[in-house]
Structure 1
Amino acid sequence: MELSILLLLFQGLGEAAIGRQLGLGHRTVQRRMRNLMIRWRVTGRVALGARAQELGLLAEDAPSGVPAGRPPPEGRPGGASGVSG
């Protein structure tokens, strides 16, 4: 779910719009983003997106927010990055 949030954030959507896209409340989206920021030790949405790119979770040249690489293997939520899809 966090990967979906990151992809929509990368597209420029706000918390409310991301929530509508994913069928979540905007507070749930805010909480998940805050948890990622804590886990990755970043402050702010821009830093969160930059960290996701550093981890190879977002394609740098894909304005649509297409993920780079494959999703994490089953049974290992989030893989090494700690993000679940």
Structure 2
Amino acid sequence: MSTSVEADELERCILDLLHEGLDDAAIARRLGVGHRTVQRRVRGLMERWQVVGRVALGARAQEFGLLKRSDRAA
């Protein structure tokens, strides 16, 4: 399996907000980008990291060390 671990700044922000439980529309509002931009970036990450679904995407981001530390992890 050959996957690129890289994620740009917008993708990292999207991943962090997904991890916080926000939906695409809320993420778009928070970041000041379009709803479709968020959808396209999430889909692109899933394709690049060869995962199906947002839970798997979050797990892969965690595995790659791309998520900010959160107080939610107790």
| TM-score bracket for this pair, using the shorter chain length | 0.7 to 0.9
Structure (1/2) with the larger helix percentage: 2
What is the aligned-residue RMSD (CA, Å)?
Answer: 1.4
Describe the shift of the 1:63–1:34 C-alpha distance in structure 2 as closer, same or farther (beyond 3 A).
farther
Identity of aligned residues (%): 65
1:74 paired residue number:
none
Question: Which TM-score applies when normalising by structure 1?
Answer: 0.69
1:17 paired residue number:
26
For residue 28 of structure 2, what is the amino acid of its counterpart? G
Moved over 6 A (4+): none
Q: Is the 8 A contact 1:11 1:63 kept in 2?
A: no
Distance 1:25 1:15 in 2: 9
Aligned-pair CA distance for 1:63: 4.0
**Consecutive unaligned residues in structure 1, runs of 5 or more:** 65-85
Distance 1:38 1:63 in 2: 29
Question: Which TM-score applies when normalising by structure 2?
Answer: 0.79
**Consecutive unaligned residues in structure 2, runs of 5 or more:** 1-9
For residue 51 of structure 2, what is the amino acid of its counterpart? V
The total of aligned residue pairs comes to 63
